Amino acid sequence: MEPGEPREPQEPREPGPGAETSAAPVWEEAKIFYDNLAPKKKPKSPKPQNAVTIAVSSRALFRMDEEQRIYTEQGVEEYVRYQLEHENEPFSPGPAFPFVKALEAVNRRLRELYPDSEDVFDIVLMTNNHAQVGVRLINSINHYDLFIERFCMTGGNSPICYLKAYHTNLYLSADAEKVREAIDEGIAAATIFSPSRDVVVSQSQLRVAFDGDAVLFSDESERIVKAHGLDRFFEHEKAHENKPLAQGPLKGFLEALGRLQKKFYSKGLRLECPIRTYLVTARSAASSGARALKTLRSWGLETDEALFLAGAPKGPLLEKIRPHIFFDDQMFHVAGAQEMGTVAAHVPYGVAQTPRRTAPAKQAPSAQ
């Protein structure tokens, strides 16, 4: 046997006189050896009502540009045929992929600390694809070793009606119209966009950045800016500093993240917590920052970092943070984040939104 070469477990022998103490280590060594050879069991899926459920569309999780083109130019039958012919070829990762991997990294830590708890992230793939296309999606998920056990494939129908049944805490899609439908149903949702360039993000810590107004908070303050200008806005915020803002569409998701963070804090792991949250707002700290922070405090919530930019571009700060996802209600800030390599998600809520189209454009099944 070469030095450092792993030793094969020996056949267990009948213990002789005085050998009682040596038999147990041999059996234990054999058990470890064969346990390592056995396939690892995936963890059990939690009950939806106990977990933090993240619903992700297929085109958010994977890149499906070519499939989208085929559907648009050649129709649904050719689209399905193409998917079946390529079902053994895994999709490339899409904009939500690093976020999902980070969720799974947090789950591993939670299960180490709380083996019997179901208070973890549960990822659900929501798609209006035909069930036949599901084989390629399953193959892709297995290829990347993702733990996604729950699928919802609606065969051309909108999956929005199923979100509440899955107790969804956040819905991410590439289809802006479906995201609007989810927001209208009171579900936290955002349209996710790929960055203009790839940036390396943390593999061990989930980082989530939020805008404030019309994302975590209501659009009350933005309405005042739009109607009366910045000077009146500053006066209003000063006068109402101690009055909490109403909640915005993603307040509940921040609340869920905070609940999981506290599970690490209770184990003395605040500084090593694998979840980190950021408030990245165009507000000025001196003139309007106090109300934002006091609102979070009144909800029993906090963010690990709060960045008040006073109207400065958000992209350069986000480049330093390198979040897995950044939520904002204004496409101007979403585009600026994309340019700097950040995966950004648009929250279509509040007065800053453009008027809704009277008739939605035709969407591909892969858009979900």
Catalytic positions, written as ranges: 211
Token code pair at residue 51: 């977990």
3-state secondary structure (DSSP) of residue 288? helix
Cα–Cα distance for residue pair 179/173, rounded to 1 Å: 7
Close Cβ partners of 32 (under 8 Å, ≥ 6 residues apart): none
Handedness of CA 165, 170, 175, 180 (dihedral sign): positive
Q: Which helix (H) or strand (E) holds 20?
A: helix 20-37
Cα–Cα distance for residue pair 99/55, rounded to 1 Å: 12
Cβ(334)–Cβ(318) under 8 Å? no
DSSP 8-state code for residue 161: G
Cβ(366)–Cβ(59) under 8 Å? yes
Token code pair at residue 177: 């119209």
Cα–Cα distance for residue pair 293/313, rounded to 1 Å: 21
Planar angle of CA 365, 201, 91, nearest 5 degrees: 30
3-state secondary structure (DSSP) of residue 125? strand
Per DSSP bridges, beta strands 92-93 and 121-127 are: unpaired
